[in-house]
Structure 1
């Protein structure tokens, strides 16, 4: 069974595959869950009351670790310019 662990502040602390037989009454280790983390979370934090992972990072932190969007390639720029020229010609110029 794939288990995700969280620390005393409920922040993600790793994961592991463990052998456990819930049908025989075995329980998950302390501070663990089988609820998967949704993609896109920078600093996941577990909410045991809702049984879900939430974002715990500030907006400023997320912006600081998010890479800038890639600049368009020369071909993409030229393609847009050609498309704009075709549009201009189709609309009758200026």
Structure 2
């Protein structure tokens, strides 16, 4: 049987596999936490795991966008300059 442990505050602490004949250990459940939880917390009365992380915590865990490399920056600058030249040519032809 696959079990999931929680601490005295009902926060997820790990998992294990035990024999079918063993009793469920203290501070453990056979209810699997959802995959997308950052800080799973267990509600023993409802027998469900829920998200306990704040929005700020979740946001801080998101990967930062990669810094642009020199080639990407040059391509963007060239595209912007081309657009500006095209606009100037159209404005000058009027």
Runs of 5+ consecutive residues of structure 1 not aligned to the other structure: 75-94
Compute the displacement of 1:55 (Å).
Answer: 0.4
Q: Which residue of 1 aligns with 2:2?
A: 2
Matched, 1:36 2:32: yes
| 8 A Cα contact 1:20 1:28, kept in partner | no
Runs of 4+ displaced beyond 4 Å = none
Distance 2:58 2:35 in 1: 14
Alignment TM-score, normalising by the size of structure 1: 0.65
Partner residue of 2:41?
A: 45
Q: Which has the larger radius of gyration?
A: 2
Instruction: Give the whole-Å Cα distance in 1 for the aligned partners of 2:65 and 2:2.
Output: 34
For 1:16 and 1:48, how far apart are their aligned partners in 2?
18
Cα contact 1:3–1:33 (8 A) shared by 2: yes
Structure 2, unaligned runs of 5 or more? 67-71, 73-94
SS of alignment partner, residue 14 of structure 1: strand
- 1:69 deviates by 6.2
Q: Distance in 1 between matches of 2:63 and 2:45?
A: 33
Q: Among 58, 62, 70, which residue is 1:66 paired with?
A: 62
User: How many residues are aligned here?
Assistant: 68
